[in-house]
Amino acid sequence: MAKSPNVRLLNRLLRTELAAAAVYEKALTHVDDPADRKVLQENRTSHATRAVMLGQLIQRRGGEPVHRAGPLSWIGKLVEAGASMMGRDALMRSLREAEALSLESYLTNVKRLDAESAEEVAEYGVLEQQHALNRIAARARPRPRRR
C-alpha cells in the first residue's frame, strides 16, 4: 500500500522533530550556563513531545512513523564535532537558525495537509515551534558587526 501524501508530509515533520531533539541533547553536553541549559532542556522536551504527537497522528492516519532523524541532522553533526570549539554564541545562533528552519517547514507543510491533520498540526506543532524559536532567540546574541 502506498503512503498517503499526508503520511509522507507528517513523517517529514517527524524526522525534523527527531533531529531537533537529538541536536539539543548533544548541545546540552557543551553548555554550562544554567539559563542556557534551561532553554535547551525546554526545547529538547518540546521537540520530543511534538515527535510523539506526530507519530500518533501518523498512526491514526494509517501510516508508519519514521524512527530516524531528518534534515537538521547536519546541525547535530556540527554540534557533535565542535560546539565547544565554536563557542557559546555561535552554538546558540546555530540553534536559532535551526528553529527558524523548523518553523518554516511547519508553515510550508501544514498548508499541504488535509484539513483535519492541518488543524491538529497547526494547533500544537506550529504554535509550539514558534515558542521554541522565541526561547532560543532570547538567548542567542547577535553576530558581532564587522568594522
Which pLDDT belongs to residue 98? 87
Which pLDDT belongs to residue 146? 64
Interatomic CA distance for residues 90 and 66, integer angstroms:
30
Which pLDDT belongs to residue 75? 64
Interatomic CA distance for residues 78 and 19, integer angstroms:
13
CATH of domain 5-139: 1.20.1260.10
The domains of the chain are located at: 5-139
Please return the burial class of 34, using the count of CB atoms within 10 Å of its CB with bins 0-12, 13-18 and 19+. exposed
Predicted model pTM? 0.88
Alpha-carbon torsion, ordered 110, 11, 27, 44, to 10 deg: 70
User: Are 13 and 54 within 8 A, CB to CB?
Assistant: yes
